[in-house]
Amino acid sequence: MPKVHNYSAGPCILPQEVFEEASKAVLNYNNSGLSILEMSHRSKDFVAVMEEARDLVKEILEVPDGYTVLFLQGGASLGFLVSAYNMMGENKKGGYINTGAWAKKAIKEADFMGESVLLASSEDKNNNYIPKGYSIPDDIDYLHYTSNNTIFGTQFKDIPETNIPLVCDMSSDIFSKKIDVSKFDIIYAGAQKNLGPAGTTLYIVKDSVLGNSSVDIPTMLNLKTHADKDSMFNTPPCFAIYTAMLTLRWLKKNGGLDWIEKRNEEKSALLYSEIDNNPLFEGTAAKEDRSSMNVTFVLTDESKAEEFDKMWNEEKINGLKGHRSVGGYRASMYNALPLESVQVLVNVMKKLALQIA
């Protein structure tokens, strides 16, 4: 089958070797005679998978002592609620930075057990920038932000400076670059961007958070419940965790975050350079806040849309259409997308410009 260049915003593209190894495990895992899909999550084989996946997270991200790594379920959409429940302190207030659809949903969830305080918003310009220069009050229990915005193509380049406990939804850029985990109380991330298939959610939680919320938490939403049971309070999403483990092995083998950050910078620089220099295209995000994961752009001449769509489809480019709230195009360039695929898209853009020259 001809190669497909997968720019889908999620579920993500994964390394080919991960697909190959995972397919073997579906038929017979570790010569056990059982599929990874059917073996007990209490078996030695799967317990070893869970332990390796956690250890790889700690190693690759350099997670310091005093943190617990969990593989749970529910995606970031449940994480919006889980993080608020577990972080509510005596003030019962959480501070939020609204940078788009997912941040806005997180804000809504905080109001179920406390009060969300809007610290800053980029809604005034259709979320095409990251707010700056906002003040952080002393009477909030935590500050929550979304590190990368898949729909609008913006990304925090720096961690907010604050003495307030920090919570971050890193679903779409975790493992894409180095981060200082020690600055966060909770990091959560749906796996389906850079880590693995949809089905599991990674949590990295400071141990001092566990069991210290000032509100009553339903059992399944209490992170201490899952920490006490090593992510196995209920049956975990075994295959998603196994595939995440394979992806982390791939990342480590190739050079870890130093390698992948450089590779991601090369991909984004190549595409943004074409957008900025090709008169037929224009980026939608503020240049200083452009995402390296999700590149959003539009045609300057909409009459060329039909021809452009035909051209990139002929080159077997998949998932390039922008979200309906932004329009235009969105090139999601997660870790496993090769530079070759970016070059194919750039070549199409150059070819379109040559046709009108």
Amino acid at 207: D
Together in a domain, 227 and 303: no
Together in a domain, 222 and 280: no
Task: Give me the domain span that covers residue 222.
Answer: 16-254
Together in a domain, 50 and 192: yes
How far, rounded to the nearest angstrom, does the alpha carbon of residue 281 sit from its chain's CA centroid? 26
Angle between helices 44-61 and 238-254 (to 10 degrees): 40
Q: In the listed set 227, 254, 281, which residue is the last one of a domain according to the structure?
A: 254
List 102, 206, 267, 289, catalytic entry: 102
Q: Is residue 102 part of a domain?
A: yes
Together in a domain, 143 and 213: yes
List 141, 169, 173, 289, catalytic entry: 169
Q: Is residue 37 part of a domain?
A: yes
Find the CATH number of the domain harbouring 162. Answer: 3.40.640.10
Angle between helices 339-356 and 305-314 (to 10 degrees): 140
Active-site annotation holds for 193:
yes
User: What is the 8-class DSSP label of residue 42?
Assistant: T
Give tens-digit pLDDT for 28-62. Answer: 999 999 999 999 999 999 999 999 999 999 999 99
Q: In the listed set 254, 279, 309, which residue is the last one of a domain according to the structure?
A: 254
Burial class (CB in 10 A: 0-12, 13-18, 19+), 190: buried
Q: C-alpha angle with apex 111: 108 to 117, nearest 5 degrees?
A: 85
Q: C-alpha angle with apex 199: 197 to 202, nearest 5 degrees?
A: 90
Give tens-digit pLDDT for 268-282. Answer: 999 999 999 999 999
Q: Is the pLDDT of residue 103 over 70?
A: yes
Tell me the percentage of the chain whose pLDDT exceeds 70. 99
Give tens-digit pLDDT for 216-244. Answer: 999 999 999 999 999 999 999 999 999 99
What confidence score (pLDDT) does residue 178 get? 98
Find the CATH number of the domain harbouring 338. Answer: 3.90.1150.10
Q: Is residue 51 part of a domain?
A: yes
Q: Is residue 6 part of a domain?
A: no
Q: Is residue 2 part of a domain?
A: no
List strand residue ranges (DSSP E) for the chain, in order. 5-6, 67-72, 93-98, 115-121, 142-146, 148-149, 154-155, 166-169, 186-190, 201-206, 281-283, 294-299, 317-318, 329-332
Q: In the listed set 199, 221, 254, which residue is the last one of a domain according to the structure?
A: 254
| pLDDT band, very low/low/confident/very high, at 357 (cuts 50, 70, 90) | low
Q: Is residue 50 part of a domain?
A: yes
List strand residue ranges (DSSP E) for 57-155, in order. 67-72, 93-98, 115-121, 142-146, 148-149, 154-155
List 141, 177, 193, 250, catalytic entry: 193
Together in a domain, 266 and 221: no
Cα first-last separation, the chain: 34
Q: 273-296 as b/e, with b when 16 or more CB fall inside 10 Å?
A: ebbeebebbebbbeeebbbbbbbb
Together in a domain, 250 and 262: no
Q: Is residue 201 part of a domain?
A: yes
Whether the CB-CB separation of 60 and 245 falls below 8 Å is answered with: no
How many domains does the chain fold into?
2
Together in a domain, 231 and 261: no
Together in a domain, 226 and 327: no
Read off the pTM: 0.96
Q: Is residue 346 part of a domain?
A: yes
| pLDDT band, very low/low/confident/very high, at 329 (cuts 50, 70, 90) | very high
